[in-house]
Structure 1
Amino acid sequence: MKKMLLNPVHLFAFGFGSGLMPKAPGTFGTLVAIPIVFLLQHYFSLTTYVVVTAVASICGLWICGYTAKALGVHDHPAIVWDEIAGYMIAMIALPFTWYNVLGAFVLFRFFDIYKPGPIGWCDKNLHGGAGIMVDDLLAGAASAIVLHLLHAGFNLLF
């Protein structure tokens, strides 16, 4: 499987190798997203961040589908591009602070693992790249909503 990293599409799908970790590859894939978010938030505008996140999400449909087909497994645990894109969504328009990074990480992993409501429906009913990506994109959106609501609530209190 390491040989597959020579193909740039698989390199992205495997989260630059983080998906090859023997335990909790999704968690390691999410950790890879943190420096990506840091770089995007510190050196580019919010508009650029959103565009890059959208491109990562849309291209992820093909990237994950292509790699899954090559592996012959629908949603192989080594495919973690969905976690990277999902975490990028979770951090949209949030300041890069330790509590936002940690909050987004915990919430995203929660929604990604437990898959409540429409997240679980998408995971069970969509196929191909969409079946791999969409549940994580929704998990990222749910995480972002919770964090933005928390920020709004704290701003009202303080």
Structure 2
Amino acid sequence: MNFLSKDEALSRLSLTNPIHFLALGFGSGMMAKAPGTFGTLAAIPLYLLMAPLSIQWYLGLTLLSVIAGFYICDKAAKDMGVHDHGAIVWDEVAGLLITMIAAPAGWLWLVIGFALFRFFDIIKPWPIRWLDAKVKGGFGIMIDDVLAGIFSLACLQGLAYFFA
């Protein structure tokens, strides 16, 4: 891939392109600071639309977001000419949806889930950091956030078991 500035790479994407729109987390990834956090925030309305669904529908749509994410992130990265550009935040959207699987209802649990996901996505404990460094392409962009979502899901469910 080419050596482009962040702005040059981002200028290669368009919010009118549906793949780019999703990869950029509905535009949230274009924030100059903390695009991953804004991408996770952008996932909240999607989560709130999905939360009332049956667990089967929720799991199906979450799995679809992950599988589609492999393509969405790969295509956006190729179009930008940069692997895992910070503006690509569909992986954060999918990660929050994973975190919130079967979460108890209420804003407190959403805030806890959000904080757990951001913690694991930023800190990247093993094997998340290893996967982030070693695996490339759309799968590589997605897999560290999928795993951060699974870690967050486990913690959230543990907290819910004892405190909900």
TM more than 0.5: yes
CA contact (8 A) 1:38 1:96 kept: no
CA contact (8 A) 2:12 2:80 kept: no
1:41 aligned partner, one-letter code: A
Q: 2:50 matched to 1:40?
A: yes
Q: CA deviation at 1:2?
A: 8.1
One-letter code of the match for 2:147? L
- Cα pair distance change 1:25/1:140, threshold 3 Å: same
Determine if contact 1:90/1:104 at 8 Å carries over to the other structure: yes
User: Between Structure 1 and Structure 2, how many residues are aligned?
Assistant: 154
TM-score (norm: length of structure 2): 0.90
Q: In structure 1, how many angstroms separate the alpha carbons of the residues matched to 2:159 and 2:16?
A: 42
Q: Look up the match of 1:12.
A: 22
Displacement of 1:152? 1.5
The one-letter code matched in structure 2 to 1:35 is P
Following TM superposition, by how much is the alpha carbon of 1:46 offset from its aligned partner in structure 2, in angstroms?
A: 1.3
- C-alpha spacing 1:21/1:146, structure 2 compared with 1 (3 Å): same
The 3 A distance-change label for structure 1 pair 97 and 61 is same
SS at match of 1:74: coil
Note the residue ranges of structure 1 that are not aligned, 5 or more in a row. none
User: 1:59 is aligned with what amino acid?
Assistant: A
Answer yes or no: is 1:59 the counterpart of 2:68: yes
CA shift, 1:153, in A, is 2.2
* Residues 113-158 of structure 1: CA deviation (Å, up to 9, x unaligned): 1100111111011000011100000001100100111112236xxx
Q: Does the 8 Å contact 2:13/2:80 carry over to 1?
A: no
What value does the CA root-mean-square deviation take over the aligned residues? 1.2
The one-letter amino acid of 1:13's match is A
Q: Is it true that 1:70 corresponds to 2:79 in the alignment? A: yes
